[in-house]
């Protein structure tokens, strides 16, 4: 007896396949990308290059984690690159002899984080309590933070950092770069906050339907204020790592870093409309950006083409997000 599939069954299988590809396409794309680059360059899968990719990804990954919190509430933060520069510069100033004395790491690090957090709180206050559109607020902060960085440094790099400070960006623990350990530590904390605490549920609720969340008793304004503060703090942490890696606080650090951070979040499947997304997807998205940058460098592709390629990736990710919404 011959069994034939019904049109309904075929339709269900096709629908399940489409849902599977949409939900897991980011992981499949990452695996295919790694395989393609491994076949294209013999240097790609070496231990030294893998550590380099993870070290480079750590900074953008920190920015992307903070950006995920913001985008989940339906906002955007265009200022993270400049806030990164400002936080890293403040920490570098205190870790150098610029003020006549080299302060220890436990002084320089908190001050740098505080600088970024304060700028994030300004963004959050304007967005949450004064209802200024996030795009406008953070675009203005992009210029303000860059200007503050130039003022603090007189437009000059700040060098001669203390050895313990440099360890934050260049140190190794059991063969693993310190920036990578910091990144995965922050990721673990962010995962717990987002999925194991009421605040994480409030973030999704505000992004899904702010008015309904407010009626349900969620302090939507405070949630928005907090996510921008988190974004600013993590941007400053990225700036501290970058200045420690380069052994100097650079006024021009972080230019256009916000693009890579947004790309990592959107590629990871977080909806720009808010309320939908996974932190794990952001992790994979950041790794994809890092692997693409590294792979194109190994293949000798011009930086001009790299910008074009990354722009195409962002557009494709937004298109996929639109398809997912439908």
Provide DSSP, 195-217.
HHSHHHHHHHHHHH-HHHHHHTT
Report the DSSP beta bridge partners of residue 173. Answer: 176
Q: What is the pLDDT of residues 11-45, one digit of tens each?
A: 777 777 776 666 677 888 889 889 999 998 888 88
Is there a contact between 253 and 243 (Cβ–Cβ < 8 Å)? yes
Q: What is the pLDDT of residues 108-150, one digit of tens each?
A: 999 999 999 999 999 999 999 999 999 999 999 999 999 999 9
Q: Sign of torsion, CA 281 282 286 287?
A: negative
d(CA 81, CA 208): 27
Is there a contact between 53 and 113 (Cβ–Cβ < 8 Å)? no
What is the average pLDDT value for the chain, to the nearest integer?
91
Divide the 326 residues of the chain into consecutive groups of 10 and give the mean pLDDT of each group: 56 72 77 90 90 94 98 97 98 88 93 98 98 97 97 94 95 94 98 96 96 95 98 98 96 93 91 90 94 88 80 77 68
d(CA 127, CA 73): 11
Q: How far lies 214's CA from each of 59, 159, 203, 206, 218, in Å?
A: 34, 48, 12, 8, 5
d(CA 252, CA 71): 26
């Amino acid at each position: 007896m011959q069994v034939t599939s019904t049109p309904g069954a075929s339709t269900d299988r096709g629908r399940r396949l489409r849902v599977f590809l949409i939900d897991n396409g980011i992981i499949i794309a990452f695996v295919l990308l790694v395989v393609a680059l491994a076949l294209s360059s013999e240097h790609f899968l070496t231990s030294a290059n893998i550590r380099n990719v993870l070290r480079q990804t750590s900074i953008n990954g920190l920015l992307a984690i903070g950006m995920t919190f913001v985008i989940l509430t339906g906002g955007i933060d265009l200022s993270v690159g400049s806030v990164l520069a400002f936080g890293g510069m403040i920490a570098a100033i205190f870790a150098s002899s610029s003020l006549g004395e080299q302060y220890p790491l436990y002084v320089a690090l908190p001050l740098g984080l505080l600088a970024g957090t304060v700028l994030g709180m300004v963004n959050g206050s304007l967005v949450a309590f004064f209802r200024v559109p996030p795009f406008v607020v953070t675009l203005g902060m992009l210029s303000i933070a860059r200007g503050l960085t130039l003022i603090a440094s007189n437009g000059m790099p700040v060098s001669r950092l203390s050895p313990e400070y440099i360890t934050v960006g260049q140190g190794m623990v059991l063969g693993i770069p310190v920036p990578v350990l910091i990144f995965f530590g922050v990721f673990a904390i962010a995962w717990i906050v987002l999925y194991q605490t009421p605040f994480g549920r409030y973030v999704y609720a505000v992004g899904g339907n702010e008015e309904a969340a407010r009626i349900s008793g969620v302090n939507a304004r405070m949630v928005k204020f907090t996510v921008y503060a988190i974004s600013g703090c993590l941007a400053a942490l990225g700036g501290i790592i970058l200045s420690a890696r380069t052994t100097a606080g650079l006024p021009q650090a972080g230019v256009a870093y916000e693009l890579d951070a947004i790309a990592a979040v959107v590629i990871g499947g977080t909806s720009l409309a808010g309320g939908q997304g996974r932190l794990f997807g952001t992790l994979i998205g950041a790794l994809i950006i890092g692997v693409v940058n590294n792979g194109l460098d190994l293949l000798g592709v011009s930086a001009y083409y790299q910008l074009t390629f990354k722009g195409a990736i962002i557009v494709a990710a937004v298109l996929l997000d639109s398809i997912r919404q439908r």
